[in-house]
């Protein structure tokens, strides 16, 4: 095999691994933020209990799935197989990589036809807003301003606190999962 081929294979694998990992991070971050943030709770309030949201890379993943709990927050599901009420399909792993490495915001990815929605369009509208807000929370302000349509007016301390909380929750969530697995 030529060295060039090996190199591009390695890049493809790394990209896929990155996307798979980020799907987990975004899924867990959504769970955490949905317990904390009023704005996101307001977006989710329109969904019925047990509503499931999925984001999947075509043709066969990776992806993430969340289910709305009785208290109105999202629960990250470790198994993303199966039909969801609303699925955002990303057309190619490269498009997912750009989005999840924040080179292209969710809204821009929509405008650029990188994704297709399976489900009710007004549910999709709410989820895109929730994802935009999530990006603002988990990214440093400078990067976020490039990645999203608008940086929400969160004062720095609030953002720091919220962001830290979310990171913390994501981290502890990861830890407890690993403990379960071990």
Contact residues: other proteins, CB under 8 A: 39, 46, 104, 107-108, 110-114, 116-118, 121-122, 124-126, 128-129, 132, 148-150
State the minimum distance, in angstroms, from the CB of residue 30 to other proteins: 18
Of the pair 32, 130, the CB lying nearest other proteins is at 130
Of the pair 39, 71, the CB lying nearest other proteins is at 39
State the minimum distance, in angstroms, from the CB of residue 116 to other proteins: 7
Of the pair 9, 103, the CB lying nearest other proteins is at 103
**Angle formed by the axes of helices 3-36 and 93-100, nearest 10°:** 50
Of the pair 28, 114, the CB lying nearest other proteins is at 114
Strand-pair partners of 54: 65, 87
Tell me the Ramachandran region of residue 64: left when phi exceeds 0, alpha when psi lies from -120 to 50, beta otherwise. beta
From CA 97, how far away is CA 22, in angstroms rounded? 9
From CA 61, how far away is CA 23, in angstroms rounded? 10
């Amino acid at each position: 095999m030529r060295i060039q081929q090996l190199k591009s294979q390695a890049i493809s694998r790394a990209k896929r691994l990155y996307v798979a990992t980020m799907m987990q991070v975004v899924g867990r971050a959504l769970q955490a933020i949905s317990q904390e943030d009023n704005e996101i709770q307001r977006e989710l309030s329109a969904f019925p209990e047990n509503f499931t949201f999925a984001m999947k890379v075509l043709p066969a993943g990776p992806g993430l799935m969340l289910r709305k709990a009785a208290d109105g927050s999202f629960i990250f599901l470790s198994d993303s197989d199966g039909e969801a009420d609303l699925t955002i399909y990303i057309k190619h792993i490269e498009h997912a990589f750009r989005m999840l490495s924040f080179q292209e915001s969710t809204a821009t990815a929509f405008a650029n036809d990188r994704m297709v929605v399976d489900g009710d369009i007004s549910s999709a509208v709410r989820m895109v807003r929730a994802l935009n807000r999530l990006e603002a929370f988990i990214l440093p302000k400078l990067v976020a301003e490039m990645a999203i349509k608008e940086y929400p007016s969160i004062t720095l301390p609030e953002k720091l606190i919220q962001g830290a909380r979310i990171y913390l929750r994501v981290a502890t969530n990861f830890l407890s999962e690993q403990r379960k697995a071990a």
